[in-house]
Amino acid sequence: MKIGALPVPFPYAWHMRNVIRNCLILLLVLAPASGWAAAKLQHFTVMADGQPLALWAREIPRARGVIVLIHGRTWSALPDFDLQVPGEQRSVMLAFNAKGYTTYALDLRGYGKSPRDETGWLTPDRASRDVVAALEWLAHEKKIQKPTLVGWSQGSLISHLTAQRHPELISNLVLYGYPRNLASPAAIPPVSDSPSRQKNTRENAASDFITPGSISQKAIDAYVAAALGADPIRTDWRDQEKWTELDAAKVTTPTLVIQGERDPYTPIDAQAALFTHLGTADRHWVVLPAADHAALLENSGPAFVAAIVGFVSRPRY
């Protein structure tokens, strides 16, 4: 018996063949569990107060956990969390898949594939109810209990409000780019009597990419095209005085606060006011160096994902 050009005793060759075979079997078994295979994008419909909502999913078998993503003020789930750029990996949903996590991303009413309701407005209460409807749908339809809830920008306010009102629905809370200073909140601007339905612009779509060299021009162009394609009309909000209900002390769910070092919406004193008053001792605060408000889409994306995976998989005692 020979392996390559060297003679090998038969028992040794037989043993090595079995070792190689067992290693290949082990790799086949573990590959899906580690999430290396890209998951297909799926679209589910969730009903909230009779309103259809689009819930996007990338589900992997034998996942380590489940992460639910909530977008911000202007753009919907797919541009934010599943950006496709030829030759570049910018999809947050796929990045979490690669770490072994199934991901879902919700279009709040009036965003992406979720139509506006009959009022034409979105409010903090309705947005939170949309998130609750998605979490309850996952529990009922997918048997997914208490996933991790991740909110970006205004989505972090919605996620905070949801965690404050319904801590039983989630296991972890991640607040990224939290734009409200709880110690000194900004005044709420007045709104018109009817929804203005303003057009979104290319300038608005590219406005969060502020750190030179943090992202390729090709990725910015892809984001602008995806954002305007998904959300050509700006969603109208009212009743934003409801944000005054936000109280960090009422958040009892384990919480991770993530801040980009150069994010103009998250000054350090505002993040400190949030973090230090959280009502849970199980809390972490991560600052992403040289990152800004769009860190999850930029070259800092892997650090953003690693921070969340590290928090979710932390030892419990």
Distances (CA, A) of 302 to 80, 273, 299, 305, 311: 15, 27, 7, 5, 14
What CA dihedral angle connects 117, 120, 124 and 129, to 10 degrees?
Answer: 0
Describe the crossing of helices 154-165 and 124-141 by its angle, rounded to 10 degrees: 70
Per-residue pLDDT of the chain (317 residues; tens, 9 = 90+): 444 444 444 443 444 444 444 443 333 333 444 434 779 999 999 999 999 999 999 999 999 999 999 999 999 999 999 999 999 999 999 999 999 999 999 999 999 999 999 999 999 999 999 999 999 999 999 999 999 999 999 999 999 999 999 999 999 999 999 999 999 999 998 999 999 999 999 999 999 999 999 999 999 999 999 999 999 999 999 999 999 999 999 999 999 999 999 999 999 999 999 999 999 999 999 999 999 999 999 999 999 999 999 999 999 87
Dist CA 35 CA 95 (whole Å): 9
What's the angle, vertex CA 203, arms to CA 229 and CA 122, rounded to 5? 60
pLDDT at 317: 74
**Integer Rg of the chain from CA:** 22
Residue 209 contacts residue 215 (beta carbons within 8 Å):
yes
Dist CA 36 CA 15 (whole Å): 29
pTM, 2 dp:
0.89
Dist CA 165 CA 246 (whole Å): 10
Q: Who's near 193: CB < 8 A, 6+ residues apart?
A: none
Domains of the chain: 1-34 (no CATH), 39-312 (3.40.50.1820)
Dist CA 133 CA 48 (whole Å): 6
Dist CA 259 CA 180 (whole Å): 12
